[in-house]
Amino acid sequence: MRASGCAELEVLAPDPVADTGSGPTPRILQIHPTLRCNLRCEHCYSSSGPEVATTLDVEHLRGVLTDARGLGYDTVSVSGGEPMLYRELPAVLRFAKSLGLRTGLTSNGTLFGRDRLERVREHLDGLAISVDGPPDVHNRMRASSRAFDRLLAGIATARDAGVPFAFIHTLTEGSWRHLPWVAEFAAEQGAQLLQIHPLELFGRAETGMRSDVPARDTTGRAYLVAKALEARYACSFGVQFDALLRRDIVADPELVYAAPGDRASRANTAAERLGSLVVEADGTIVPITYGFSRSYAIGNLHDARLAQSWPAWEREQLPRFRGLCRGVFDEISSSDARLVNWHDLIVARSHEHVC
């Protein structure tokens, strides 16, 4: 199974960190063009909502897409906020495709109607749609009594449009019991992937869902159910569980950027040295995942383009970043945990180790 930082679709492809299988590893640029959203979900890591106006302009996005392609990134994942509310989304996706990037979109699935999906369909390789559980659970998490019905309509639209889609389920302390329901729903609806992502305490979740973060044994239970579901539905869809086995990390430290320097220096491109970049809606570019400490930021698009910021970051900050990763690796190595939510851990430590 695989892992991912934020609950982002990686275009129905393995995650750069967790996947230890064969085949090329996608190098991902994740962009958050807007924090505007039609919902105000309890677990939203970016505190998005209808009243939030933070938005990036399309020229900044064109620039960062061009630069990321030049640095070796091959996939762009668009999130938010609700990306379907970003007016220039078709232009961004079209431009990304013109650069040869694979494109994915993470959405709450409620705004595909009125030709919105049709306008981006031809530039889209995959969709990730959030599903929190049975209708009552989903509506409660989404703070909307109509969210599930609108989700159903959205899924039908995506299916009719022929866009491959995945479901993303945010795992909470209580939701692991709903995983069989979510898997059955995924099979019925024709999803190609079920991604299970443990709740992270960022954004709105940090204040309202502190007790809902899955405990270590709950994550273990969820992993076991996920493995059973993976075997059961192998002919219908894949299952991605966003945690790493400690054993795999110890066997291959570079999974978490913690290999000795000589191995790391063999990377040929920027994207090989840092598998995922995240552009937040205020223009800040951070490594790995949304919410990473800004003391490790690569730059801000309002100040300089990515291509201008990268060389200095690689020279001055990449060693510091890898030092952070080695510290986290040591912490993981000495623990008795079987499963590690590395993204959650590295983000937490990034905020503690600010120099």
Residues that bind another protein (CB under 8 A): 176-177, 179-181, 183-184, 187, 216-217, 220-221, 223-225, 227-229, 231-232, 234, 245, 247, 336, 338-339
* Residue with Cβ nearer another protein (222 or 325): 222
> Which region holds residue 168: left if phi is over 0, alpha if psi is between -120 and 50, else beta?
beta
* Residue with Cβ nearer another protein (97 or 232): 232
Using the structure block, give the residue that is written with the tokens 């009719």: 160
Strands 244-245 and 165-171: unpaired
* Residue with Cβ nearer another protein (224 or 250): 224
* Residue with Cβ nearer another protein (133 or 275): 133
C-beta of 224: minimal distance to another protein in Å?
5
Q: Are 112 and 151 in contact (CB under 8 A)?
A: no
C-beta of 182: minimal distance to another protein in Å?
9
Q: Which residue, 300, 349, 310, 302, is CA-closest to 329?
A: 349
C-beta of 184: minimal distance to another protein in Å?
4
Q: Enumerate residues 6+ apart whose C-beta is below 8 A from 8.
A: 28, 30, 77, 79, 104, 106, 128
* Residue with Cβ nearer another protein (22 or 265): 22
Evaluated on CA atoms 244, 249, 251, 252, the torsion sign reads positive
C-beta of 62: minimal distance to another protein in Å?
41
* Residue with Cβ nearer another protein (179 or 301): 179
Q: Enumerate residues 6+ apart whose C-beta is below 8 A from 334.
A: none
b/e map 8-32, b = 16+ CB within 10 Å: bbbbbbbbbbbbeeeeebbbbbbbb
Give dist(CA 139, CA 146) in Å, integer.
Answer: 7
Distances (CA, A) of 152 to 107, 130, 185, 300, 309: 13, 11, 10, 38, 42
Inter-axis angle of helices 89-98 and 58-70, nearest 10: 20
Q: Which residue, 319, 275, 331, 75, is CA-closest to 346?
A: 331
* Residue with Cβ nearer another protein (247 or 351): 247
Question: Token pair of 321, please?
Answer: 């970043």
C-beta of 4: minimal distance to another protein in Å?
18
Q: Enumerate residues 6+ apart whose C-beta is below 8 A from 195.
A: 2, 4, 7, 9, 128, 166, 167, 168, 169, 240, 242
Q: Give the residue ranges of DSSP H helices in 274-341.
A: 306-316, 318-333
* Residue with Cβ nearer another protein (140 or 221): 221
Give dist(CA 318, CA 309) in Å, integer.
Answer: 12
C-beta of 6: minimal distance to another protein in Å?
24
C-beta of 221: minimal distance to another protein in Å?
5
* Residue with Cβ nearer another protein (89 or 339): 339
C-beta of 276: minimal distance to another protein in Å?
24
Q: Which residue, 224, 256, 218, is CA-closest to 333?
A: 256
C-beta of 256: minimal distance to another protein in Å?
17
C-beta of 334: minimal distance to another protein in Å?
16
* Residue with Cβ nearer another protein (23 or 162): 23
